[in-house]
């Protein structure tokens, strides 16, 4: 007696793609100008931001591709469609953030030891323009689906750039005020720290999905206890809770009920309970009548079923 519920709603894919495409255009245009002025100003902070924005452009392009793939329907052997492409995109984005952060640290340490002359005025002006561009890109992405790890991965890149430009603007102002060029690599180290923190979060969440861990907001033990607390349920085992993709949790379990109980009615009651209490609306429940004895189980009522 098996039930498959498929009431999960599709993400607003068209809105996501429009937001990602708009942000991508803004980032590409500004990145080209930042490279030019970073070279002119001999500023590692600007070049570091440009390098980070290159990864932003790649991240946005990848996210745009993933959003298009997610919208494709399931077919053939791809029974879940291509929904996990967005998780793969988020993991790649996390890895690129980590790599660019390491590169920035390497360059910043070298410039702390032997700092070149930095044009503070150019650094400050370009950074202020960068703040405006990233605010616009952030606004676009904030209107997209925040439940999508793919969109969140792209947003993390842009938010890091926004924070980096604030730091770069402060560095430019301090260089103008004091003439101390080491403020530039110090700002770069702050950027690297932000990148490392963001990278860790993306990698942790995407890896948890790939390893099919339970959603962070769902306690499998609590779910098991709620199932066996349902009237006429004797035990449950083979309980699995995982995430297909962001916003798409799933559950499967084998449930044993009292002899003579209505398996179909209990299954429907369990489905409602799982949706209402835990937000699990994609469930596969095998409901059978219990026999006189049973094998080892994960969750069972304290009073075992009488023999006979």
Q: 86-105, pLDDT tens digit by residue?
A: 888 888 888 888 887 888 88
pLDDT higher than threshold 80 for residue 51: no
Sort 201 into a burial class: Cβ within 10 Å, 0-12 / 13-18 / 19+: middle
pLDDT higher than threshold 70 for residue 297: no
User: What local confidence, expressed as pLDDT, does residue 282 receive?
Assistant: 92
User: What local confidence, expressed as pLDDT, does residue 234 receive?
Assistant: 93
Q: How confident is the model at residue 42 (pLDDT cuts 50, 70, 90)?
A: confident
Distance between start and end Cα atoms, the chain: 24
Mind listing the domains of the chain with CATH numbers?
Answer: 9-210 (1.20.1510.10), 220-300 (3.30.300.30)
User: What local confidence, expressed as pLDDT, does residue 223 receive?
Assistant: 95
3-state secondary structure (DSSP) of residue 266? helix
User: What local confidence, expressed as pLDDT, does residue 239 receive?
Assistant: 95
pLDDT higher than threshold 90 for residue 148: no
Please answer whether residues 89 and 65 qualify as being in contact, where contact means their C-beta atoms are separated by less than 8 angstroms.
Answer: yes
User: What local confidence, expressed as pLDDT, does residue 153 receive?
Assistant: 80
Global pTM reads 0.70
pLDDT higher than threshold 70 for residue 158: yes
What average pLDDT score do residues 23-36 get? 85
- Read off the tokens for 260: 């003579």
What average pLDDT score do residues 98-126 get? 81
pLDDT higher than threshold 50 for residue 287: yes
The rounded radius of gyration (Å) of the Cα atoms in the chain is 26
What average pLDDT score do residues 98-121 get? 81
Q: Which residues contact 252 (CB under 8 A, 6 or more apart)?
A: 238, 239, 240, 283, 284, 285, 286
What are the pLDDT digits (tens) for 188-238?
888 888 888 888 888 998 899 999 999 988 999 999 999 999 999 999 999
Q: Look over the chain and give the mean of its residue pLDDT values, rounded to a whole number.
A: 81
What are the pLDDT digits (tens) for 225-248?
999 999 999 999 999 999 988 778
Query: Which stretches of the chain are DSSP H helices?
Result: 13-41, 44-70, 85-113, 120-142, 149-178, 183-210, 220-228, 263-278
Q: How confident is the model at residue 49 (pLDDT cuts 50, 70, 90)?
A: low
């Amino acid at each position: 007696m098996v039930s498959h519920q498929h009431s999960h709603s599709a993400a607003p894919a068209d809105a996501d793609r429009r937001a990602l495409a708009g942000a991508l255009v803004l980032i590409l245009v500004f990145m080209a100008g930042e490279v030019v002025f970073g070279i002119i100003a001999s500023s590692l902070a600007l070049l570091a931001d440009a390098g980070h924005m290159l990864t932003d452009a790649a991240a946005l392009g990848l996210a745009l591709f993933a959003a298009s793939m997610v919208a494709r329907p399931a077919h053939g052997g791809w029974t879940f469609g291509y929904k996990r492409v967005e998780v793969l995109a988020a993991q790649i984005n996390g890895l690129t953030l980590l790599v660019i952060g390491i590169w920035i640290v390497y360059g910043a340490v070298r410039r702390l030891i032997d700092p070149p002359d930095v044009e503070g005025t150019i650094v400050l002006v370009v950074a202020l323009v960068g703040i405006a561009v990233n605010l616009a890109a952030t606004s676009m992405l904030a209107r997209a689906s925040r439940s999508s790890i793919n969109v969140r991965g792209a947003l993390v890149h842009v938010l890091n750039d926004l924070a980096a430009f604030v730091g770069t603007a402060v560095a430019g102002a301090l260089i103008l005020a004091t003439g101390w060029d080491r403020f530039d690599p110090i700002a770069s180290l702050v950027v690297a720290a932000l990148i490392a923190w963001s990278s860790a979060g993306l990698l942790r969440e995407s890896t948890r999905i790939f390893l099919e861990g339970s959603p962070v907001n769902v306690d499998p033990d609590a779910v098991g206890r709620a199932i066996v607390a349902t009237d006429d349920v004797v035990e449950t085992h083979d309980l699995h809770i995982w995430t297909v993709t962001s916003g798409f949790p799933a559950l499967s379990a084998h449930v044993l009920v009292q002899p003579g109980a209505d398996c179909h009615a209990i299954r429907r009651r369990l489905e409602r309970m799982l949706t209402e209490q835990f937000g699990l609306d994609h469930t596969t429940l095998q409901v059978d009548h219990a026999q006189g004895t049973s094998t080892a189980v994960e969750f069972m009522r304290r009073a075992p079923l009488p023999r006979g």
